[in-house]
């Protein structure tokens, strides 16, 4: 094929898995359920006889699908391409790929298209439903085509960005976290720039519509009057051209840097993480008489360590010193007579030791540090278990959080209660981003151990399951402490400024810390359940993403229907029931249990109840139910991992595969 054998293999092997078809069917059914729920929210059971009502429903449904598909494309396209490269690097198979006859361009393009195959399938599935919106009225087919092209170009540019980051970085958590932060920064950073320079245009189009994918989507949804007659609007044309150019530049740069970054920059990792052997160059002076003495054939001189050699050098008082040599039993030092029961005169080599010589001697080993009773927790907290590169991730997150909250406080000036307006989505989005990063650290903390073979070594030690699980859990929370501390400090600052009450602040802090534990344990649970790292990462991040996005969709539909729950109760029950089935498929397919089944059944329903309670102002009820259900979900994943660790890892014949 045009991209080489990598994409050809992916096209041939991907349809063999039942998950490929299950993904398409599940996604299409999810969209139909959302469409029916939106119908019940706007129209209900009454008979429609006006054309304007159908056109309004088509416009609302079109906008909802547009936001949903663009969000999915921006989130999953970079993640899938980054995970594809990171998975190969963890398993040390990417180096083998570089040793083949494939060109650099074939490798980069093949990995890009192979990682985006599932996303392109999802986009093709939603194209038919977008065409239904045009049949309802109020939306033209030109707008549908524009939106599909804008979404596809956004996904292609995002996939190229994720691929480039994964080629640059050598660890899964670094690749995934930097990819997520780069995607969020592409939206937040552009908004900050357009606020600072609102009048800048590019080819007659505002810069915000050129760089921000959501602005470009809104320009397609609400085109200007002079652009209604054309098949493609000027803003979408410029946006698509810029995104495709950006993707081409990223692919070209990744192709150029492929051999430079890999494998020399990534192999072996241990040598780049501070495990280099320290070599000390020591000058040894040898007596002239000894240097001219013959050396017996067969005597093997072994230089002692630097610690044993140093006293001998110092004993000479700065004069010439005799080199200390350990020889075989029955042999004397070089230059002396050979003694022993089997001593016989031997010939010499005829070589002379030089008067002065430099010999490279390994430095003495450093003192060992005393580990704690839980060595896993000690390694996670007291050593650089993930290298020094996570500092880049933390710095990017701090910068992004500062930009987001700067926008919130800038636009919230003069607003009486900014959290009750659309501005409240900014701190909510930053909190969701923190949970996603905690979840990414949790799943990669275990998948990286499995891919490198270190997990098998840990399992044959005397470590108990509780030491391993609790060490990893709190190690994840410690390594993401910046992602946890910033939302906590922001909530305290908002309470001090009067934006939040003291009671709501305390409830938020408790709930947020519990959700952080839940997100970390969800990542560990997915890594334990699925032996394939790509599947584990996609399952874990997909679960936390759809769980949070599903809550936001429910809140939007409730607000859209003016909180009339009666006419849409049935549709919401079906929507939530589908979420329960999907959640059980994610958490309990491999290792089912009654607790996991209860979690999958109750979590979507009680989350829906929490949303209703929040919209009605009943904060305490939402807090109690969220703490109860997510605390139970945390225990449902934690207890089997601690008690039935071998079964959870699938090390029995009944669960293999």
Residues 237 and 302 in one domain: no
pTM above 0.85, yes or no: no
Q: What percentage of the chain reaches a pLDDT higher than 70? A: 75
pLDDT of residue 513: 93
Greatest Cα-to-Cα distance within the chain, rounded to the nearest angstrom: 118
Residue 407 included in any domain: yes
Residue 355 included in any domain: yes
Residues 606 and 530 in one domain: yes
Q: Which domain holds residue 63?
A: 5-272
Residues 85 and 209 in one domain: yes
Range from 90-99, 114-123, 326-335, 432-441 that averages highest in pLDDT: 432-441
Count how many domains the chain has.
Answer: 3
pLDDT of residue 291: 44
User: Got the DSSP string for 520-556?
Assistant: HHHHHHHHHH-SSHHHHHHHHHHHHHHHHHHHHHHHH
| Section 291-318 average pLDDT | 41
User: Residue 421 and residue 287: Cα distance in Å, rounded?
Assistant: 87
Residue 428 included in any domain: yes
Residue 588 included in any domain: yes
Residues linked to residue 325 through DSSP beta bridges, in sequence order: 303
Residues 247 and 302 in one domain: no
Asked if pLDDT for residue 299 goes beyond 50, the answer is no
Average pLDDT of the chain, as a whole number: 75
Under DSSP, the state recorded for 232 is S
Residues 338 and 414 in one domain: no
Residue 179: pLDDT band with limits 50, 70, 90: confident
Residue 282: pLDDT band with limits 50, 70, 90: very low
Residue 653 included in any domain: no
Distances (CA, A) of 532 to 11, 140, 162, 172, 646: 19, 43, 20, 13, 17
Asked if pLDDT for residue 268 goes beyond 50, the answer is no
User: Got the DSSP string for 257-291?
Assistant: HHHHHSSTTTSSHHHHTT-PPPEEEEEEE--HHHH
Lowest mean pLDDT among 67-76, 188-197, 521-530: 188-197
Asked if pLDDT for residue 521 goes beyond 60, the answer is yes
Asked if pLDDT for residue 277 goes beyond 80, the answer is no
Lowest mean pLDDT among 329-333, 422-426, 553-557: 329-333
Residues 223 and 143 in one domain: yes
Element (H, E) at 359: strand 356-362
Lowest mean pLDDT among 361-370, 447-456, 473-482: 361-370
Residues 183 and 312 in one domain: no
Residue 559 included in any domain: yes
User: Got the DSSP string for 581-641?
Assistant: HHHHHHHSSSS--HHHHHHHHHHHHHHHHHHHHHHTT-HHHHHHHHHHHHHHHHHHHHHHH
Using the 3D structure, point to which of 247, 272, 297 is the last residue of a domain: 272
Tens digits of residue pLDDT in 571-611: 667 777 777 887 888 887 777 788 888 888 888 888 878 87
Residue 657 included in any domain: no
User: Residue 378 and residue 463: Cα distance in Å, rounded?
Assistant: 13
pLDDT of residue 389: 60
Residues 310 and 224 in one domain: no
Residue 346 included in any domain: yes
Residues 64 and 180 in one domain: yes
pLDDT of residue 488: 93
Residue 204: pLDDT band with limits 50, 70, 90: confident
Asked if pLDDT for residue 309 goes beyond 70, the answer is no
User: Residue 179 and residue 78: Cα distance in Å, rounded?
Assistant: 7
Range from 216-220, 281-285, 552-556, 572-576 that averages highest in pLDDT: 216-220
Residues 320 and 407 in one domain: no
Distances (CA, A) of 259 to 94, 265, 578: 11, 9, 46
| 565 in Cβ contact with 625 (< 8 Å) | no
Asked if pLDDT for residue 230 goes beyond 60, the answer is no
The residues, ordered by sequence, that sit 6+ positions from 268 with a Cβ below 8 Å of its Cβ are none
Counting other chains too, the contacts that 493-500 makes at CB distance below 8 Å and 24 or more residues apart are 494/419, 494/427, 499/412, 499/417, 499/418, 499/419, 500/419
Asked if pLDDT for residue 199 goes beyond 90, the answer is no
Residues 356 and 406 in one domain: no
| Section 291-307 average pLDDT | 41
Report the chain's terminal Cα–Cα distance, integer Å: 31
Asked if pLDDT for residue 112 goes beyond 80, the answer is yes
pLDDT of residue 645: 59
pLDDT of residue 518: 93
| Section 64-85 average pLDDT | 86
Residues 349 and 292 in one domain: yes
Token pair, residue 278, equals 């320290």
| Section 76-88 average pLDDT | 86
User: Residue 438 and residue 390: Cα distance in Å, rounded?
Assistant: 13
Using the 3D structure, point to which of 313, 332, 362 is the last residue of a domain: 362
| Section 442-466 average pLDDT | 80
Residues linked to residue 201 through DSSP beta bridges, in sequence order: 206
Using the 3D structure, point to which of 330, 362, 394 is the last residue of a domain: 362
pLDDT of residue 605: 81
Residue 225: pLDDT band with limits 50, 70, 90: low
Tens digits of residue pLDDT in 146-163: 888 888 899 899 899 999
């Amino acid at each position: 094929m045009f991209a080489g054998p990598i994409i050809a293999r992916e096209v041939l092997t991907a349809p063999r898995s039942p998950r490929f078809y299950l993904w398409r069917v599940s996604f299409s059914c999810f969209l139909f359920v959302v469409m029916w729920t939106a119908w019940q929210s706007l129209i209900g059971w009454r008979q429609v006889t006006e054309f304007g009502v159908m056109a309004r429903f088509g416009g609302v449904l079109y906008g909802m699908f547009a936001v949903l598909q663009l969000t999915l494309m921006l989130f999953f396209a970079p993640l899938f391409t980054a995970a594809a490269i990171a998975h190969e690097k963890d398993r040390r198979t990417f180096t083998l790929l570089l040793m083949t006859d494939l060109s650099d361009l074939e490798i980069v393009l093949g990995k890009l298209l192979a990682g985006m195959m599932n996303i392109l399938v999802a986009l093709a599935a939603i194209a038919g439903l977008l065409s239904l919106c045009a049949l309802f009225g109020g939306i033209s087919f030109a707008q549908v085509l524009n939106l599909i092209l804008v979404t596809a170009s956004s996904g292609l540019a995002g996939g190229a960005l994720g691929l480039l980051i994964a080629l640059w970085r050598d660890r899964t958590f670094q690749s995934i976290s930097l990819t997520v932060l780069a995607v969020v920064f592409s939206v937040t950073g552009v908004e900050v720039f357009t606020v600072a320079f609102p009048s800048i245009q590019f080819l007659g189009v505002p810069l915000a519509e050129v760089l921000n994918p959501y602005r470009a989507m809104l320009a397609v949804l609400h085109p200007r009057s002079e652009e209604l007659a054309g098949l493609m609007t000027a803003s979408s044309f410029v946006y698509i051209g810029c995104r495709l150019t950006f993707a081409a530049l990223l692919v070209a740069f990744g192709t150029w840097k492929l051999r430079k970054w890999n494998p020399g920059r990534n192999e072996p990792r241990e040598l780049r993480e501070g495990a280099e052997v320290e070599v000390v160059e020591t000058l040894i002076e040898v007596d002239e008489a000894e240097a001219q003495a013959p050396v017996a054939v067969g005597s093997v001189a072994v230089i002692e360590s630097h610690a044993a050699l140093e006293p001998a050098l110092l004993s000479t008082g700065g004069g010439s010193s005799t080199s200390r040599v350990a020889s075989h039993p029955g042999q004397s030092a070089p230059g002396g007579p050979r003694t022993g029961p089997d001593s016989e005169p031997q010939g010499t080599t005829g070589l002379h030791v030089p008067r002065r010589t430099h010999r490279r001697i390994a430095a003495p080993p450093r003192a060992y540090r005393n580990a704690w009773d839980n060595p896993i927790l000690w390694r996670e907290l007291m050593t650089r278990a993930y290298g020094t590169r996570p500092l880049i991730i933390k710095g990017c997150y701090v910068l992004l959080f500062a930009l987001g909250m700067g926008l919130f406080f800038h636009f919230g000036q003069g607003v009486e209660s900014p959290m009750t307006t659309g501005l409240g989505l900014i701190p909510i989005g930053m909190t969701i981003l923190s949970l996603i990063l905690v979840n990414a650290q949790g799943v990669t903390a275990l998948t990286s151990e499995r891919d490198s073979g270190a997990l098998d070594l840990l399992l044959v030690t005397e470590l108990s399951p509780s030491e391993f699980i609790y060490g990893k859990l709190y190690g994840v929370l410690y390594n993401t402490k910046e992602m946890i501390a910033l939302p906590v400090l922001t909530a305290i600052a908002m309470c001090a400024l009067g934006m939040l009450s003291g009671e709501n602040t305390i409830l938020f802090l408790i709930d947020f810390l519990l959700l952080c534990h839940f997100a970390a344990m969800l990542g560990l649970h997915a890594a334990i359940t699925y032996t394939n790292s790509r599947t584990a990462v996609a399952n874990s991040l997909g679960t936390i993403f759809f769980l949070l996005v599903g809550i936001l969709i429910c809140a939007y539909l409730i607000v859209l229907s003016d909180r009339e729950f009666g006419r849409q109760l049935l549709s919401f029950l079906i929507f939530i029931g589908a979420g329960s089935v999907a959640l059980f498929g994610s958490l309990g397919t491999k290792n089912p249990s009654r607790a996991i089944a209860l979690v999958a059944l109750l979590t979507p329903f009680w989350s829906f109840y929490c949303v209703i309670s929040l919209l009605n102002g009943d904060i305490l009820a939402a807090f109690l139910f969220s703490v109860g259900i997510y605390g139970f979900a945390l225990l449902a994943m934690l207890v089997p991992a601690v008690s039935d660790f071998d079964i959870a890892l699938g090390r029995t014949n009944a669960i293999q595969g």
